[in-house]
Amino acid sequence: MMRSQATWMGNAISAGLLFLVGLAAAANSAAQAPTPVPAQATAVAFGPGNPLYADSSLPFHAPPFDKIKDSDYQPAIDAGMALQLDEVGKIADNPAPPTFENTIVALERSGQLLARVSNAFSCVTGANLDDELQKVEEYEAPRLAANQDAINLNPKLFARIKAVYDQRNSLGLDAESLRLVEYDYQQFVKAGANLSEDDKAKLKKLNEEESTLSTDFMNKLLAAAKAGSFSTKDKAALAGLSDQQIAAAADAAKEHKHEGWVIPLQNTTQQPDLKFLSDRAARQAIFENSWNRTERGGDNDTRAIIARLAQLRAQKAALLGFANFAAWNLTDQMAKTPEAAIQFVDALVPAATARANREAKDIQALIDSQHGGFTLQPWDWEFYAEQVRKAKYDLDESQVKPYFELNNVLQNGVFYAAHELYGLTFKERHDIPVWQADVRVFEVHDADGKPLALWYCDYFKRDNKNGGAWMSQLVNQSKLLNQLPVVFNVANFEKPAAGEPALLSSDDVTTMFHEFGHALHGMFADTRYPSLSGTQVPRDFVEFPSQFNEHWASYPAVFDHYAKHYKTGEPMPAELKAKIEKAKTFNQGYDTAEILAASRLDLDWHTLPASAPLEDPDVFEKAELQKQGLWLDAVPSRYRSSYFLHIWANGYDAGYYAYSWTEMLDDAAFQWFLDHGGMTRANGDRFRKMVLSRGNTSDLDKMYDAWLGGKPSIEPMLKFRGLKGEE
């Protein structure tokens, strides 16, 4: 299913790399694009008859999904936007002098109806879409963007925020309140609120051009990916693929109206089928289709667009008073400066490339032992690495799955770890309405028995559900608004036949722990202001709690507690356990080097000064990566500049490093636990108190360091990735 993430799922948090990067999703995530507005708007009365009209009377203010009809959303969203604009207008036009209470706190109290409705709406559009909801989504997306713009660009509102900001240190504010003033001010300034009218007009023009170019880039990329699919009438070219994969290729050919077989292009440089294809010419053709997809001249070539995008972003940053785009865009991130991000990336390069080179040698030896008679190329890597993997640590999922029964993993793994670390207990509730019959609800209690949160899980794949997995909220925690958190996890696990157990893969288990880590971040939120609560933290922090929670999945005391055969209750055999562990560090030289190359490219493009000329993407890319030691013959960047969707159109501009950065944070955090006695309540409570409950209420860098007792090091990350020393 192809749907927008960016529009409605803005605050949902997805699992790992693959979720946000689907080309299909991107094509529709054009929140910035001038979307034509369907003319089906009819004013529907919004009143007490609408179940979203009043705050929910259910426990934890849970949405009454049993009463909400699809047709209730649009009038509620419209009313929510109108009310928010009205509330914000009153704050901006208040004749009384600006104070923290009448401006900053008043803003925190505004928009509650819209938040309530949007949370429920984004939940159902993400997890249980139908045609009517999709129509409402398409209709409302541009209106919501315009509503937000009207607030962000209200000069009277900004003047009041600035007035409070200017006197913030003499107002006797507590630390969280002070942080909120600074946060609000920073967000407005970042968007250009401080500029002269002249410069605002210039910025607006640059923003418009950027938005047009991004949309253009996405459209070209989508067309390029389509045009780049590998098509053949010779079945021999598909040797190595399974019958199922060949059938899929035949289906794809029908879809593309081609004879024979088609292998569609995926968004990353490497293509999944390269693992299996034994025909070297086919592998090379597929790889080159991928690598050159947007560099063939003609309509789908994106090079001129990205060169201009990089340049105009640098110009935008200069207008806003920054040396480069990354410097501007990282002001509200944990890393704060491009220098910090670059230093981090560069520190990983030697170990990653050394390991990648060693892996390349192993692969070359394998090629030679099979009398291949050629030098390893990027299109050979996956094919031979797969052979090494199979020989060394092949995991037969059918052997593993019986030990990962869903409910057992949930109760005796995910919940168990949360109990041991934080004292939480979980009670399933069958009386809370859900959006679909498979959804389960648990009331979460603290160690002292007090209710903490409501948590929903919607684990099974449906064809009206977005791909991947994510966490989001139905109610945001806030002491100001007297709200306890209501959060949910969504995934796409195979649904078993009626009466059969749901058996998970090892990846599924990791996903469960990951999303539950986000959920803990949301449920432990203990802040006054909703804007700073829970998972509302920068991109280079938000994946830290979730990835941290993944570590407990393989922590022996947890693993042994849940990994039991669903029929016999027998623990997993040691040999199988060892294989799972070993498989984790396989091919990590390659994986790390390709992601570092992409991260570095992103930072290179976005640290260009405004005075830089239009760059030739190919020349620039190669020169920069060579300079960083990341231009490896057999290890291309995970994305080439010309098809790097994340940074040109998906909101990860100057932010791709965040994937690895948060890994450094979670690995260093887990190492801290290991060094301090492992899974203990004392360790868990300390982590919860100093990190997980704090949202964005203080400087994240300082918060993290205070908890860790120093700066995070990359050493644990190198260790867990298996990049340290010999294997």
Q: Which of 405, 515, 550, 621 is catalytic?
A: 515
Residue 327 and residue 309: Cα distance in Å, rounded? 16
Smallest distance from the beta carbon of 515 to Zn ion, in angstroms? Answer: 7
Contact stretch for Zn ion (CB under 5 A) within 6-14, 270-278, 292-300, 711-719: 6-14
Residue 72 and residue 273: Cα distance in Å, rounded? 45
Return the residue nearest Zn ion (CB atom).
546
515 catalytic, yes or no? Answer: yes
546 binds Zn ion (CB under 5 A): yes
Smallest distance from the beta carbon of 545 to Zn ion, in angstroms? Answer: 9
Smallest distance from the beta carbon of 537 to Zn ion, in angstroms? Answer: 12
Q: How many CA atoms lie within 13 A of 110 on its CB side?
A: 21
Smallest distance from the beta carbon of 471 to Zn ion, in angstroms? Answer: 7
Neighbours of 726 (CB within 10 A): 4
Bridge partners of residue 451, in order along the sequence: 445
Smallest distance from the beta carbon of 399 to Zn ion, in angstroms? Answer: 28
Of 147 and 546, nearer to Zn ion (C-beta) is: 546
511 binds Zn ion (CB under 5 A): no
Q: Write the DSSP assignment of 473-536 as a string of letters.
A: EEE--BTTTTB--EEEEEEEEPPPPTTS--BPPHHHHHHHHHHHHHHHHHHT---S-GGGSTT-
Of 455 and 643, nearer to Zn ion (C-beta) is: 455
Q: What's 298's DSSP letter?
A: S
Smallest distance from the beta carbon of 662 to Zn ion, in angstroms? Answer: 9
662 binds Zn ion (CB under 5 A): no
Structure tokens at 686: 């300390």
Contact stretch for Zn ion (CB under 5 A) within 4-12, 183-191, 359-367, 545-553: 545-553
Structure tokens at 645: 């969707």
510 binds Zn ion (CB under 5 A): no
- Pattern 14-43, Zn ion, x by CB under 5 A: -x----------------------------
Contact stretch for Zn ion (CB under 5 A) within 8-16, 20-28, 283-291, 410-418: 8-16
Of 491 and 634, nearer to Zn ion (C-beta) is: 491
Structure tokens at 225: 């990916």
Smallest distance from the beta carbon of 561 to Zn ion, in angstroms? Answer: 24
Pairing between β-strand 425-429 and β-strand 470-475 as defined by DSSP bridges: unpaired
- Pattern 307-346, Zn ion, x by CB under 5 A: ----------------------------------------
535 binds Zn ion (CB under 5 A): no
The site for Zn ion, by CB under 5 A, has a size of 4
Residue 216 and residue 309: Cα distance in Å, rounded? 11
5 binds Zn ion (CB under 5 A): no
Q: How many CA atoms lie within 13 A of 154 on its CB side?
A: 20
Q: Write the DSSP assignment of 581-630 as a string of letters.
A: HHHTTTTHHHHHHHHHHHHHHHHHHHT--TTPPPP-HHHHHHHHHHHHT-
119 binds Zn ion (CB under 5 A): no
Q: What's 274's DSSP letter?
A: G
Q: Which helix (H) or strand (E) holds 669?
A: helix 658-675
Of 229 and 466, nearer to Zn ion (C-beta) is: 466
110 binds Zn ion (CB under 5 A): no
CA distances from 322 to 314, 404, 609 (A): 9, 51, 9
Binding site for Zn ion (CB under 5 A): 13, 15, 543, 546
Active site residues: 515
